[in-house]
Amino acid sequence: MEELYLRKKALTLWQEGQRAHMEGDLQRAMDCYERSIAVFPTAEAYTFRGWALSYMERFDEAIAECKKAISVDPSFGNAYNDIGSYLIALGRPEQAIRWLQRAKKASRYEVRHFPYMNLGRLYASRGQILKAIAEYEAALRIVPEEPSCTAALGRLRQQLN
């Protein structure tokens, strides 16, 4: 019973941090994420603390936070996708591919199309047009008519002509 109470309190703090993050108040967001983790460590709080660190271009620390999230809950897909995104930002696309592929297989993931979009961008930037198209098409099967996927897919298909 106490664990359930602590988890609920931690998730409330995480949500407060998420709101602060969206409002651009990274310091308040970080404070909320840290308080959330102190109450009850969750994959959400670690992953979002990593996301806040990425806004400060502290990508190695952000990756470490996502790895903590995975150790708490390996099913949480956001952490895998975020590691892939941070590795891309660090200029390490080969390492990113493995993490993005793992994100696609995660069982708990609300924005399931993100790793497909990230792989699409990665492959497009490397001139691997057919691979990029396949990733964007897969993203659109999950979220039909997603505007950035539709636009990217249109640009890629034009390159084939």
Q: Where are the domains of the chain?
A: 1-93, 111-161
CATH class of 1-93: mainly alpha
Spatial contact of 68 and 78, defined as CB atoms under 8 Å apart: no
Closest CA to 47 of 93, 3, 103, 116: 103
Q: 3-state class of 77 per DSSP?
A: helix
Instruction: Tell the residue number behind the tokens 């691997």, with chain if given.
Output: 128
Spatial contact of 146 and 134, defined as CB atoms under 8 Å apart: no
Q: What is the pLDDT of residue 88?
A: 97
Predicted confidence (pLDDT) per residue in 38-96, tens digit: 999 999 999 999 999 999 999 999 999 999 999 999 999 999 999 999 999 999 999 99
Q: What is the pLDDT of residue 116?
A: 98
